[in-house]
Amino acid sequence: MRRSTDRILTTHAGALPRRPQLREMLIAKDDGKPVDEAALESGIQAAVDDVVQKQLDCGLDVITDGEESKRSFHIYMRPRLSGLADRVYKPGEHSTMTYGADYAAFPEYFKSRGNRAGDAVCVGPLAYTGQAEVQADIRRFKSALDGKSPLESYLPSIAPGTIEHWLKNEYYPSDEAFLTAIADAMHEEYKAITDAGFIVQVDDPDLADAPQIHTDMSVPEYRRFAALRVEALNHALRGIPPERVRFHVCWGSYHGPHLFDIPLRDILDLILAVNAEAYSIEASNPRHEHEWEVFEDIKLPAGKILIPGVVGHATDFIEHPELIAQRLIRYAGAVGRENVIAGTDCGLGPRVGHPKIAWAKFEAMTEGAKLATKQLWGR
């Protein structure tokens, strides 16, 4: 994996703006409605072509396909797994909310959000059936990259623990058995991505936001809960070199209070236990910006890379390049300049108010990285 050997490199967490018409087609297909497959394929390829060029135009070094083929970062995997069935909630039933503790404390804020109408349930043996879909993602991305030369490229995929959160288990006898089955299935997707020559970014927001869901967990109980899910992820990554893996963890990208987010200090060792070379974390929102100080006490292991989010999705304010540089310099001081790559808190595409804001944030990030480079390398 490329490092910031002579300047601060730039990347982001994955999801990029999607055209409304494409999103409508993806939702329709997921809902089992008839879709013009040729128009859908053409729309996805055009969208990937567009976001690849836009990332390069913004000056980003490490880029992706923007997850343009996916309705969302987690729902996309449902058609790629066997053994699932849709389940509509009965009156009074609710989905598992990633903001459960916040919801209990601030119900008025969340009143307009409502709950999903249903969820997916595991009713039989899980197996990966998404070979054609992941190969299509790879093919589209390679096509979009043809003739272009980013410093590095990656494709995102979802972690077993976050998949588990968004499924209900009615088949496997234990959490351990369920997680192992998910991990065995997702191993195929991770390996397909790395075999194609890309880095795989494993997205695991629910590793850190579990205390929002399991509100009665103590920190030691949560750590045991999280350690089991890290073990499952490492099982899914077996045989894949860590230098081909980057790991993204956050506290859930929902807009809300985040009053009950578990501190980074309580989970950092678990994050660093994932068999990855680079770790992407939230670092710019008001709940977590101060946590750069944790790395002064808990050292980043030798050979590892940190990707702090120096621009974020929590606000439509476009961060000033000087502020971005300050954030990067703080992290460089804590873990070493060569071990820092500028990133985003989460995927900006679905979360900021308008696509132009997301691209403006990326432009600000590249400018901030240049300012930080000037201070850190004197050029």
Fold of 9-377: TIM Barrel (3.20.20)
Helices and strands, counts by H and E, the chain: 13, 11
86 versus 92: which is more confidently predicted? 86
Mean per-residue pLDDT over the chain, rounded: 92
Mean pLDDT over 192-216 rounds to 88
One DSSP character per residue, 328-361 reads: HHHHHHHH-GGGBEEEESS-STTTSSSHHHHHHH
Q: CA-to-CA distance for 66 and 222, rounded, in angstroms? A: 32
Banded pLDDT at 98 (limits 50, 70, 90) = low
Q: Are 345 and 13 in contact (CB under 8 A)?
A: yes
What integer pLDDT is reported at residue 117 of this predicted model? 45
pLDDT tens across 229-275, in order? 999 999 999 999 999 999 999 988 778 888 888 999 999 999 999 99
What integer pLDDT is reported at residue 96 of this predicted model? 55
What integer pLDDT is reported at residue 111 of this predicted model? 63
CA angle 299–379–370, rounded 5-degree value: 70
What integer pLDDT is reported at residue 72 of this predicted model? 84
- 283 CB contacts (<8 Å, ≥6 apart)? 289, 291, 292, 308, 309, 310, 327, 331, 345
Mean pLDDT over 211-224 rounds to 82
Residue 47, CA distances (Å) to 17, 116, 147, 194, 317 in order: 9, 28, 17, 23, 25
**Residue by residue, what is the 3-state secondary structure of 94-117?**
CCCCCCHHHHHHCHHHHCCCCCCC
- CA–centroid distance for 38 within its chain: 29
What integer pLDDT is reported at residue 240 of this predicted model? 98
Residue 173, CA distances (Å) to 83, 95, 120, 166 in order: 15, 21, 18, 18
- Containing H/E element for 153? strand 152-158
* Residue ranges in 8-91 assigned as alpha helix (H): 20-30, 37-57
pLDDT tens across 132-143, in order? 999 999 999 999
